[in-house]
Chains A and B, each alone.
Chain A
Amino acid sequence: MISAVGAGGKFSEFQEFVVAATGHQPYEYQARIAAYGLPELLEVPTGAGKTLAATLPWLWRRRFADHATRETTPHWLVFVLPMRALVEQTENVVRGWIKRLGLADEVAVHRVMGGESRARDDWRRWPERDAIFVGTLDILLSRALNRGYGESRFVWPIDFGLFNSDTQWVFDEIQLMGPALPTSRQVQTFRDTCGTAAPTASLWMSATVDTSALATVDRPGVESKVVLTDEDRAGPLLVRLEAAKTVRELAEAASDPTRIAELVSDRHRPGSLTLAVHNTVERAREVYLALIKRGLEAEIVLLHSRFRPGDRARQSALALADVNPHGAGRIVVSTQVIEAGVDISASVMITEVAPWPCVVQRAGRCNRDGNVGDAELWWYTPPKSAPYASEDIEAAAAALRALDATAVTPRSMVELAVPTTATIHPVLRRRDLIELFDTTADVSGNDIDVSRFIRASDDLDAQIAWRGFTGVPGETESPPVADELCSVAISELQRSKLELYVHDHLTAAWRQVTKDDIRPGRIFLAPSDAGGYTPEAGWDPKSRVAVSPIVATVGGPHPLATDDDIGADPITFVGRWVGLAEHLADVEADVRALTGGVSCDGLDRRLLEAAAVAGRLHDIGKAHPVFQTTLESSANDEERAAVVAGAPWAKSARKGGRHSRRFFRHELASALMLLDESGVALLDDIGADADLVRYLVAAHHGRVRLSIRSARDEAGGDHGGRFALGVWDDDEVPEIEIPGATLGSTRLSLSCMDLGESSGVDSWTARAVVLRDRPDLGPFRLAYLEALVRLSDWRASARYEEAGSA
């Protein structure tokens, strides 16, 4: 029994807490996790409550355990799943618990997937609040690598900072993670070795785990592991764990889908669920269509990954609905999508042989709840081993053959050692992480590729949206949003004759695809009258029935969006005039409030003070004449006199024109002012951290970080000196009042852009590299400080905007 040590809130005991959340008692191992903390590895069978074990013990420790535990428990839980389908399911479960616990106002639950609306991104503004993030691994892990998918380059460092500090990561179904598994192991090690603002931890969990797959060069072993004990193996869990099914080989190894359909329908039992599992979507679809042709009474449902999100949700609901025991029953035809997290229990399963871990997962869906006395697991060898290695198929087939006519349980299957071939994935190394810290594109406009560390390259999917157009889609045809998209395997796409169009980023126009265009990850448009998709069968290249397009909801993201305009600065126009000194004071106060609200014991006081000073100075570059002129030009006639008299301003009431110098970035001007004589004097008190202040000031829009480079096509007018981002050598910024001081007029010099020191003064890059490599900072802490300053700026600006609109 675990009893409450501290008085963290309304629940004094974990058991009571779990009952309130779920209506059930926790298993003993879950209570152990609540008492001793989340382990590095959780290895429990399917159906033994992994999601709960990863969530509620964390929540308990974060909010209701003793003070010391609460303080050291990360405030964000980041729950990572390998497939989109699992995300929604997990999110709903977790959200339900939070609601029943009455914590909905205190613990936010966020879903993070590709194609989610940006309106959901509000969470960034509240880094001090407890939150649970549930998302797919590509979206979440890319954030941890400073290359957030679907995000602007300029937002990457914020997410990199926030997700790598004070976070408890949870990786579920790790057998499906591919290269993301070693990547996640390495990143956690780098957090441990480079240091973070507050402790972070990772939990990996699976029912079937090959521990050797967890070993990486920098994290060879597992420090703590939780498995089931005998105490856990009792009651309903025991029934599940001991749920037996009899293994039987289908006498004929059928390759003909019609024959398979016949064998499936012969074995189906009225009033129950039969599950037919295939190794490829194509096979599943063929068997499904053959079953439909037979005109059975039983309900036939096809479930695989090649559906548009809305249709897939409906298919899942159909597959998972309770079966009327007095009716004809249901046959669910599926693929490996049912291997993870799908709570379905069949009386009869007919499966193609797959690698052993897959077979174990599939078998877990046969008599999952242990209520069927005579459950059967039928298997046969598919005509082709693809997508799996033939050795793995042969090994699994041999194992199954040896088990013929015997009853197996989840436990007995896991314990069987069946060899599988190891896949070699690229491993993220320390030097990769250090390089990823910089978010500047190289001279070819490219970024370091992180996709190889996240998804296997044999994950060969592209996505299609169907729209009602004729001929080539026009320039106004917007890029598709997530709700319209259906994933399709590249190999199938290459064989299909579907008419497809692709968006060419060089010309910003749609054009018909050529053979070379059909590559993984791409998004295509297809005319809806060409067919190729039905709501019941999903992707179906042979269908000629017109596809009804999904009308995209407004506010969706831009899957094809590239970088935001380098000159964009939306939050300058906030609906009211805000003086520069006022804004500087506001942001400094916000930084101080924020650093008081978040856990950052890993940051020295000096560093937090530097962040506050950066808040105080971040926008001084707005006093630059180019910026002030732009703001003043936005004043209407009534305001003009007052505006001119009240300068310098930080924000204006309404949107003005463009800066007279293209690409002008005020934050670069701010940083350069701090390198001029009077700016240097201003930072005297900060001492060794003056460069940190300058860096945080420059980085506060994510555009000027390790490198100062002029924009492509930027011209310096007829002035002969250096220029970058609209700032020119020898620009003068007049004297300004800042909170608590006066900054004399400054003359800007871009000599710090040069490689090497100029008259004994280090270059910008040299300074930034030193910060990145400083033992008390390092990449994670530095990015976290960046995020704090930027979020404080956002918050202050959002308040003006709220006030302005009110």
Chain B
Amino acid sequence: MPELVLYGCRPEPLSLYLQALGILRVVGAQKDPDARGHWHGDTFVLTTRLDADDLIEFFVDEYEPTPVVSPWNGGSGFKAEGNAGAVEVLGRIEHSESPRLATYRTAISSAHDMSELAQHHDWDKETFVQVCRNHLPDAALEWVDAAIVLTTDGPAYPPLLGSGGNDGRLDFSKAYMDRVADVFCLRVGRNEPTIADGREWIRGALFGDAGTLLRDTIGQFDPGSAGGPNSSPLGSAVSLVNPWTFVLLVEGALLFAAGAARRMGSQSSARAAMPFTFNATTAGYGTAASEKSRGELWAPLWSKPASAGEMRALMAEGRVEWRGRQARVALDAARGARALGANRGIEHFARHGFLERNGLATAAVSLGRISTREESGVELTAQLDPWLDRVRRGGRRPANVDSAFGLLERRLLEHALRPTPALLQTLLGAVSRLELAIARANRFRSEGRVPPVFGLDASKWLAQLDDGSPEFDLARSWASARDRGATMRTFVREVRVAGVRHEFSETAPIVAGLGARSIAAVLADVLVVRARTAPRATPFPRQVAVSLDAIELWLDADLDDARTESLLEALLVLDYANAPDSVDADRIRVGTSRSDVATLPSSFALLAPCYALSFEGQVRAEPQWAVKLAANDVAGTLHGATRRLRAARRVSMLRSLDVVARAGPSGPRIAAALLARIPLARHRQMLERISTAPAINPL
């Protein structure tokens, strides 16, 4: 079948996306049951037996608008004392004679009946909506289901249609009727639209040809063309609107029918469920103070010709529980929605956030695209589930564990919605803090038999976490340090190695104060302990290597220490058993590092090889050096090291050691740097530099 490219439709703004769905839905139901639609890049393609002129003629001559009535809203035209304009336009449709508006007239008449009953019985809004859903003709139900979901917990409003079909003072059904009146030329007068106008507008809506636009509001769907925040009064910002676009976007919005859903067998009560719609409060969005998010919608961008019936099935399957009690539920849904997208060959969702601006009117703001294909890290977070289940099974959580748990759930959801390395790092930090809170909640930990975090495979996580920053580079090297029976985690956290996992040690950490003392001081103490307990294997036999750039920045105190520290805390909870092999990493890093051994502080260049190359039996660092470094006695350490190196005939004579010590980095900072892994080749270069230099350059 021929394909028509509808240049008037686009994935963003939301209005032009919904218009595309509206066209597909209406043409499929009223003209060509075989009509299919798909997105080709950013354009919408309609596969139909109609040609462009047929399509225009269909809308102008045959199209029957879906009845949209919201008698429960004051401004919808059903209450005489309400909006006069709404009453007027409702009357026009009601008293129209076009057979194409017959369904609409039936719906209006039925809604009038409901309205009278509601007044007579003095029903609350919920009851009124329920009666409408019970009695309105089938054709008018799609609107009700898209605008409001009734559950035992009260009504819920899909943000796509504001608060039950209105946004602030703008009633969508009234606006729709106005536009229907325009395209049906129900108002007669000099300035009123004519059939010729209508033809021009539909051409514009379908094919993007610019025409004369109406001045009115389109509301939240198209903030780009809506008047800016200064164009008060609120909710009626004047903008230029193509009446057909508004009619069709409402037709398209009807595909997003929501419903009440519950988990079978779980005895939970029913909750509102909305297609691809995520609640902002659960996600804990941080937006500007003047803006309040009401949630977001993922608009599927599919690339194969699909019918409206298929879209309807997709929307039903893509329903997400609204205001789930637990962020966990929302997280599952976000994962589920992506997985469903991937299953259906939908490569992208266009994200639209509903932001409440200046208190009342809502704007749909494009938030970019979500890919269902690329590795996002969302699959990674599933590795957390076994541990989180153990935490959940632990029983009643004390307050600080509970708040750490809640924070982590929110982080999980944030990350699922926007899988970036930064959010994954924050998430992992929350994991680490939850573990810490559990470590300190003795009763909960022991009675609930909750273990430390397990099962997070560093070989999978590191790639997704890596933001290319030197802070990350360094923290990764530290956190991955390990030996049989000891890991960096066992030094600074209340855990010890138990088989392939960790268990809580029930005692204070070997080196206390991570997060409270300076990170350099903490790590210097780790070096002290390590040098004493495993002098032959100091610092650690296995760990991920760091670039010289990062080491140099650290030694020069040019890194963000707070960030490095949070990253270290976060990275501690990974399981490094399958982490990238250090040797491979060495090879890669030697080639890419910009820094040169020559620019490293001499004190470090002198000490580092003593530790690193000790494995080759050439020089052995003494446990005492670490103690001295931790106490910031750099000169003393350097003297000791020089003696060693001389004895090993590695250097002949070194002068100016005191100057070097004074001018260079602090002892703890050097000690911490010594705990990171630098490629062996670099150590050899450093050794070379020391041995050949007649004197160490004090700078």
CA–CA, A707 and B320, complex, Å = 17
CA–CA, A751 and B151, complex, Å = 37
Across-interface contacts of B135 in A (CB, < 8 A): 217, 427
Asked whether A448 is an interface residue with its Cβ less than 8 Å from the other chain, the reply is: yes
Across-interface contacts of B138 in A (CB, < 8 A): 429-431
CA–CA, A722 and B339, complex, Å = 12
A712 & B310 in contact (Cβ 8 Å cutoff): no
Interface centre among A449, A506, A769 (most CB of B within 10 A): A449
Asked whether A561 and B260 contact (CB < 8 A) given A443-B320, A756-B304, the answer is: no
Asked whether A444 and B336 contact (CB < 8 A) given A523-B267, A765-B313, the answer is: yes
Asked whether A560 is an interface residue with its Cβ less than 8 Å from the other chain, the reply is: yes
B302 & A755 in contact (Cβ 8 Å cutoff): yes
- Which residue of B has the minimal Cβ distance to A519? B269
B267 & A444 in contact (Cβ 8 Å cutoff): no
CB distance from B92 to the nearest CB of A (A): 27
Main secondary structure of the interface of B (DSSP, over half): mixed
Interface centre among B307, B310, B321, B392 (most CB of A within 10 A): B310
A755 & B152 in contact (Cβ 8 Å cutoff): no
Across-interface contacts of A724 in B (CB, < 8 A): 343
Across-interface contacts of A753 in B (CB, < 8 A): 343-345
Across-interface contacts of A447 in B (CB, < 8 A): 261-264
B317 & A442 in contact (Cβ 8 Å cutoff): yes
Asked whether A520 is an interface residue with its Cβ less than 8 Å from the other chain, the reply is: yes
- Which residue of B has the minimal Cβ distance to A517? B267
Asked whether A709 is an interface residue with its Cβ less than 8 Å from the other chain, the reply is: yes
Across-interface contacts of A442 in B (CB, < 8 A): 261, 273, 316-320, 336
Across-interface contacts of A511 in B (CB, < 8 A): 395-396
Interface centre among A147, A430, A446, A561 (most CB of B within 10 A): A446
Across-interface contacts of A451 in B (CB, < 8 A): 262, 270
- Which residue of B has the minimal Cβ distance to A708? B343
Asked whether A219 is an interface residue with its Cβ less than 8 Å from the other chain, the reply is: no
Stretch at the interface among B125-133, B217-225, B487-495, B674-682: B125-133
A429 & B307 in contact (Cβ 8 Å cutoff): no
Asked whether B89 is an interface residue with its Cβ less than 8 Å from the other chain, the reply is: no
Across-interface contacts of A769 in B (CB, < 8 A): 307, 309-310, 312-313
- Which residue of A has the minimal Cβ distance to B257? A431
Across-interface contacts of B259 in A (CB, < 8 A): 435, 448-449
CB distance from B256 to the nearest CB of A (A): 13
Asked whether A773 and B309 contact (CB < 8 A) given A424-B127, A445-B332, A446-B273, the answer is: yes
CA–CA, A722 and B372, complex, Å = 13
B309 & A770 in contact (Cβ 8 Å cutoff): yes
Across-interface contacts of B131 in A (CB, < 8 A): 424
CA–CA, A395 and B393, complex, Å = 53
Asked whether B685 is an interface residue with its Cβ less than 8 Å from the other chain, the reply is: no
Asked whether A507 is an interface residue with its Cβ less than 8 Å from the other chain, the reply is: yes
Asked whether B292 is an interface residue with its Cβ less than 8 Å from the other chain, the reply is: no
Tell me which residues from 730 to 778 in chain A have a Cβ below 8 Å from any Cβ of chain B: 751, 753-758, 763, 765-766, 769-770, 773
CA–CA, A216 and B138, complex, Å = 13
Asked whether A189 is an interface residue with its Cβ less than 8 Å from the other chain, the reply is: no
CB distance from B388 to the nearest CB of A (A): 10
Interface string of B134-165 (1 = CB under 8 A from A): 11001001100100001110000000000000
Across-interface contacts of A755 in B (CB, < 8 A): 300, 302, 304, 306, 310-311, 314, 344-346
Asked whether A109 is an interface residue with its Cβ less than 8 Å from the other chain, the reply is: no
Across-interface contacts of A440 in B (CB, < 8 A): 317
Interface string of A648-681 (1 = CB under 8 A from B): 0000000000000000000000000000000000
A707 & B317 in contact (Cβ 8 Å cutoff): yes
Tell me which residues from 253 to 297 in chain B have a Cβ below 8 Å from any Cβ of chain A: 257, 259-271, 273
Asked whether A703 is an interface residue with its Cβ less than 8 Å from the other chain, the reply is: no
Across-interface contacts of A424 in B (CB, < 8 A): 127, 130-131, 134
- Which residue of B has the minimal Cβ distance to A755? B344
CA–CA, A150 and B638, complex, Å = 76
B329 & A507 in contact (Cβ 8 Å cutoff): no
Asked whether A548 is an interface residue with its Cβ less than 8 Å from the other chain, the reply is: no
Asked whether A426 is an interface residue with its Cβ less than 8 Å from the other chain, the reply is: yes
Interface centre among B134, B346, B393 (most CB of A within 10 A): B134
Interface string of A508-527 (1 = CB under 8 A from B): 01011000000111110000
B343 & A426 in contact (Cβ 8 Å cutoff): no
CA–CA, A234 and B260, complex, Å = 52
CA–CA, A217 and B393, complex, Å = 48
Across-interface contacts of B273 in A (CB, < 8 A): 442, 444, 446
CB distance from A712 to the nearest CB of B (A): 7
CA–CA, A751 and B344, complex, Å = 9
CA–CA, A709 and B304, complex, Å = 17
CA–CA, A135 and B302, complex, Å = 47
CB distance from B132 to the nearest CB of A (A): 11
CA–CA, A472 and B150, complex, Å = 37
Across-interface contacts of B324 in A (CB, < 8 A): 444
Partner of A756, one of B262, B306, B317, B328: B306
Across-interface contacts of B142 in A (CB, < 8 A): 431
Across-interface contacts of B300 in A (CB, < 8 A): 755
A444 & B339 in contact (Cβ 8 Å cutoff): no
- Which residue of A has the minimal Cβ distance to B307? A766
B141 & A446 in contact (Cβ 8 Å cutoff): no
Across-interface contacts of B271 in A (CB, < 8 A): 446
CA–CA, A196 and B138, complex, Å = 21
B313 & A449 in contact (Cβ 8 Å cutoff): no
Asked whether B305 is an interface residue with its Cβ less than 8 Å from the other chain, the reply is: yes
CA–CA, A506 and B268, complex, Å = 12
Interface centre among B36, B127, B264 (most CB of A within 10 A): B264
Asked whether A756 and B303 contact (CB < 8 A) given A442-B261, A446-B319, the answer is: yes
Asked whether A446 and B263 contact (CB < 8 A) given A507-B392, A766-B310, the answer is: yes
CA–CA, A536 and B649, complex, Å = 98
Asked whether B527 is an interface residue with its Cβ less than 8 Å from the other chain, the reply is: no
B340 & A709 in contact (Cβ 8 Å cutoff): yes
A431 & B145 in contact (Cβ 8 Å cutoff): yes
A427 & B270 in contact (Cβ 8 Å cutoff): no
CA–CA, A616 and B679, complex, Å = 67
CA–CA, A511 and B447, complex, Å = 13
Asked whether B122 is an interface residue with its Cβ less than 8 Å from the other chain, the reply is: no
CA–CA, A751 and B142, complex, Å = 31
A429 & B141 in contact (Cβ 8 Å cutoff): yes
Asked whether B389 is an interface residue with its Cβ less than 8 Å from the other chain, the reply is: yes
B265 & A561 in contact (Cβ 8 Å cutoff): yes
Asked whether A706 is an interface residue with its Cβ less than 8 Å from the other chain, the reply is: yes
Asked whether A452 is an interface residue with its Cβ less than 8 Å from the other chain, the reply is: yes
Interface string of B375-411 (1 = CB under 8 A from A): 0000000100000010011011000000000000000
Partner of A562, one of B261, B264, B396: B264
Partner of A444, one of B257, B304, B333, B346: B333
Asked whether B20 is an interface residue with its Cβ less than 8 Å from the other chain, the reply is: no
Asked whether A505 is an interface residue with its Cβ less than 8 Å from the other chain, the reply is: yes
B266 & A763 in contact (Cβ 8 Å cutoff): no
Asked whether B337 is an interface residue with its Cβ less than 8 Å from the other chain, the reply is: yes
Across-interface contacts of B310 in A (CB, < 8 A): 755-756, 763, 765-766, 769
Name 24 A/B residue pairs within 8 A (Cβ), A-sorted.
A431-B142, A441-B264, A442-B318, A443-B317, A443-B318, A443-B320, A447-B261, A447-B264, A449-B260, A449-B261, A449-B270, A452-B270, A505-B263, A509-B393, A511-B396, A519-B268, A562-B264, A710-B339, A712-B336, A754-B302, A754-B304, A756-B310, A769-B307, A770-B309
- Given A442-B336, A444-B332, A756-B302; 18 other pairs, CB 8 A cutoff: A431-B141, A442-B319, A443-B336, A444-B261, A446-B273, A446-B321, A506-B328, A506-B389, A507-B393, A519-B267, A710-B339, A754-B302, A756-B306, A756-B345, A757-B36, A757-B306, A769-B313, A773-B309
Chain A positions within 8 Å of B, measured between CB atoms, are 147, 153, 182, 216-217, 424-427, 429-431, 435, 438, 440-449, 451-452, 457, 472, 504-507, 509, 511-512, 519-523, 560-563, 706-710, 712-713, 722, 724, 751, 753-758, 763, 765-766, 769-770, 773
Lowest 9 CB-CB distances: which A-B pairs, in order? A756-B304, A754-B345, A443-B336, A756-B306, A449-B270, A446-B261, A427-B134, A444-B321, A442-B319
